[in-house]
Structure 1
């Protein structure tokens, strides 16, 4: 950087720090959180780090400086991460009659704790689900005060959290459920449930997952009010719990006699270690046929995708959709898979 001004050197130094953070973010999917728990928070901040490095790249390009190669390099090597955060392509155009519609939604307990001042949140969520009418629904943070009709969904399996007792998960199905089970994680209000569902001539296992909550507000100003060291420590502990829960989940999934659909709130991003372990060879419905950012949670202006629907390769994914309704701190997601499985 010979001949650069002092200001230019300072800018490049800051640029270098964010470039290093971005590269560390790329590595996190391959590093178990218990090794560097506090560093795992970068998996949630990857969209921000990508944007910052893109801004630096534009800055150096406009100034005609060779320092542009640093940000250009770290952005190019992370092209796979960029494509997992934004998609232009859409679905196949096939209709619901061609497949099985599955929805996942963290309802934030239908607002029974009054997090939103808007009226009738619980009733409006039920009305939304009734109108969209999926074949299978996975709800996280379910509360029994609000429920869908038995006539519309004759089959269901719910399991309240062993710790909280006041909320849990539920799977609604229009197709027969022949077997159910649950994973009750220790020292937490989070859990996983599953149901084996017979769809015409075939059977699939649907997991409804709600992994360890990070207890992060959707408002950045709420985060800034908490001591940064304490915040990182708390989130680091949550990431370690997630890792243990994922290992328990994988043991259960390995024993499934049927092809698997995993739907729910991962409380982590598609650039995290836990996502990579859970996904394995499965298809991410959003990555397959989704469009846009795929956001399911918003940290003020930062779109995060922390809710997923993953499908065994035996399933053909036809459509994926995000619903932009603000009845919870999460947004509902929906996919359509072909009813004829590929065995």
Structure 2
């Protein structure tokens, strides 16, 4: 009787393991599908971390039972190691650059307008001077800042952040303003560089003026040219209270839960579709870039998405190559989300990556990476 029960239990666990493998394969397939062609693919791809974790748990389960079925999750783990690295890179091997190599240190941050609009209902809005000073003091060669806010005409407060971050510290700047408020404050994307900016431009994702865009700057690094992109892809427009309302309605108010759930799903779907178009516009621009380049910013998408996957096909991810751990960059009610990234092309190599959890004044944590400019190969 016990042997029969044991066999039945083994079959059930094996069937469940196979189901997880099929789920994993489906999610990987959905990452290849543009969300604007089939938007449910975005939600299925979003679930891939769950399948990866369950597959790893099955690996432990079969190993502890000394079952040969362990080879099923093991094979999946080996073949899908790239996806496990996206989830939690180990960062075991880091090759430092030669002493005479040219290096580039890039900081990226969604500044959340330096909290300029925080508390506006109480008429106590004010730029976070602590965040501005932290950025200005950071030793990076280049800053790529999203939701950048500056108001040089402000008399009540010193809101000329371009001067406070760039001019005073000898950095050249390129600021692309997407909108202005009635008090002459400008909001957009900015690149600050200690290297001379020799060329620059803007990539508009739509005909309407929007903070969701990309800017680029070509930098003269002592005779070599490197391009840096700062980008901000389509936001979810999901507020912290939306998530909290969904949490609190679970089990207490079924109608409210359905309403909040549909609201979140609708915004997620809109974001998936918009970013699908936007990342393809970025990739087209990359194809015409004659220099090594880094593209950094707020992608508003996790590593298991069409957006990330398309970038990862052509570029390297600095966190995967030089970071370790979970690397969460979203400072909000949804934990463990990594939606800020730095990707880089051939001709560069990332050798250090850091998420700056010590600066928690924005709804994003700053990220920084160091690159070495590889020697040119003779053709």
Q: Under a length normalisation based on structure 2, what TM-score does the superposition of the two structures give?
A: 0.76
> Pairwise mapping of residues 17-56 of structure 1 onto structure 2 (< 5 A)?
19-55=21-57
Looking at structure 1, the residues matched to 63 and 202 of structure 2 have their Cα atoms a distance apart, in angstroms, of: 54
Ranked by relative contact order (alpha carbons within 8 Å, sequence separation 6 or more), the top structure is: 1
Structure 2 residue 355 is matched with structure 1 residue 335? no
Partner of residue 131 from structure 1, selected from 137, 145, 149? 137
Counterpart-to-counterpart distance in 2, 1:227 and 1:10: 36
Pick one of 102, 107, 110 that aligns with 2:111: 107
**Secondary structure of the equivalent of 1:195?**
strand
Tell me which residue corresponds to 1:158. Answer: 175
Q: Return the alpha-carbon distance in structure 1 between the equivalents of residues 58 and 263 of structure 2.
A: 30
Q: Match of 2:244?
A: 221
* SS of equivalent residue, structure 2 residue 336: strand
The CA deviation string for residues 199-244 of structure 1, in whole angstroms up to 9 with x for no partner, is: 1111111111111112345685345465333422321221111111
Match of 1:258, SS? coil
How far apart in 2 are the matches of 1:139 and 1:209? 9
Quote the offset at 1:109 in angstroms: 1.3
Three-state SS of the structure 2 residue aligned to 1:246 is helix
| Higher deviation after alignment, 60-69 or 173-182 | 60-69
Deviation at 1:135, TM superposition (A): 0.7
Partners of 2:44 and 2:233 in 1: CA distance: 18
Q: Counterpart in 1 of 2:253?
A: none
State whether residues 44 and 268 of structure 1, in contact with CA within 8 Å, keep that contact through their aligned partners in structure 2: no
TM-score (norm 1): 0.83
The equivalent of 1:193 in structure 2 is 215
Q: Secondary structure at the match of 2:229?
A: strand
Give 1:48-87 correspondences, 5 Å limit: 48-55=50-57, 58=60, 74-87=76-89
1:299–1:111 Cα change, 3 Å: closer
Q: Could you report, residue by residue, the CA deviation over 1:177-200 in whole angstroms, capped at 9, with x for unpaired residues?
A: 111111222255411111111111
Q: Which moved more, 1:321-330 or 1:294-303?
A: 294-303
Distance 1:33 1:204, change over 3 A: same
Q: Give the unaligned 5+ runs of structure 2.
A: 151-158, 250-258
Residue 251 of structure 1: how far off its partner (Å): 2.3
Is the contact made by 2:331 and 2:365 (CA closer than 8 Å) also made in structure 1? no
Residues 225 and 291, structure 2, Cα contact 8 Å, conserved in 1? yes
Match of 2:310 among 271, 277, 286: 277
Cα deviation for residue 70 of structure 1 reads 6.5
The alpha carbon displacement at 1:17 in A equals: 5.8
Shift of the 40–177 alpha-carbon distance from structure 1 to 2, 3 Å rule, reads same
**Retained in 2: the 8 A contact 1:91–1:320?**
no
Q: Is the 8 A contact 1:140 1:208 kept in 2?
A: yes
Deviation, 1:94, is 5.2
SS in 2 for 1:337: strand
Task: For 1:93-104, list aligned pairs within 5 A.
Answer: 93=96, 99-104=103-108
Give the 3 Å change call, closer, same or farther, for CA 194–122 of structure 1 in structure 2.
same
Corresponding residue of 1:179: 199
SS in structure 2 at match of 1:294: coil
Answering whether residue 218 of structure 2 is matched by residue 203 of structure 1, we say no
Taking the aligned partners of 1:64 and 1:217, their CA distance within structure 2 comes to 48
Q: For structure 1, list consecutive stretches of 5 or more residues without a partner in the other structure.
A: none
CA distance in 1, matches of 2:356, 2:217: 25
Comparing 15-24 with 78-87, greater Cα deviation is found at: 15-24
Counterpart of 2:273 in structure 1 is 240
Q: In the TM superposition, what is the alpha-carbon distance from 1:6 to its structure 2 partner? A: 9.9
Cα distance between partner residues in 2 of 1:288 and 1:312: 13
